[in-house]
Structure 1
Amino acid sequence: MDVQTIQARFDNQEQAESAIRKLAALRGDRFRIEREGSFSVEFAAELGTPEEAAESGSFTLSANIPQEASDRARSVIEAAGGRMA
């Protein structure tokens, strides 16, 4: 299965986490959220982050997505309030 790495920007962590839950259903993996300027969190089996990461700010999400799901992944990101980077 061919995969591609996607990146998106979100205004807050809640939006990014919402996108991750939906992207997981598309068989995405290696999810990573980075708070621009300081904090980085990797997601494995469960979602959940330290409280300091929940502060407002800009967040970048990266994930590996199956090539055939890339259009759907873009829609999921936009519906969650993100924009492709």
Structure 2
Amino acid sequence: MPAVNPISEVRVVIDGVWKFGDLVDWYKDNCYWSTRVIKVLSDDKVKIELPMAPLGEGGVHEAFCKDLRLSLDWCLSKG
């Protein structure tokens, strides 16, 4: 396993406003689903689309913004 770099140069700032195209993780059924925002419906609701099989379950869903978090690509080699 590579050594973990304790100092990260990456910073993420979220102002709570999601927009079209944002990659997010959606908390549903006690797990997080990686998805993309395809439409903003209101201040607290968006429409998302899950990746099609074999990478995902597919389908378009409405989601509350409180159930979303920024989707990051975690990588051990980059700390």
Q: Which has the larger radius of gyration?
A: 2
Q: TM-score, normalised by structure 1?
A: 0.26
Bigger RCO (CA 8 Å, 6+ sep): 1
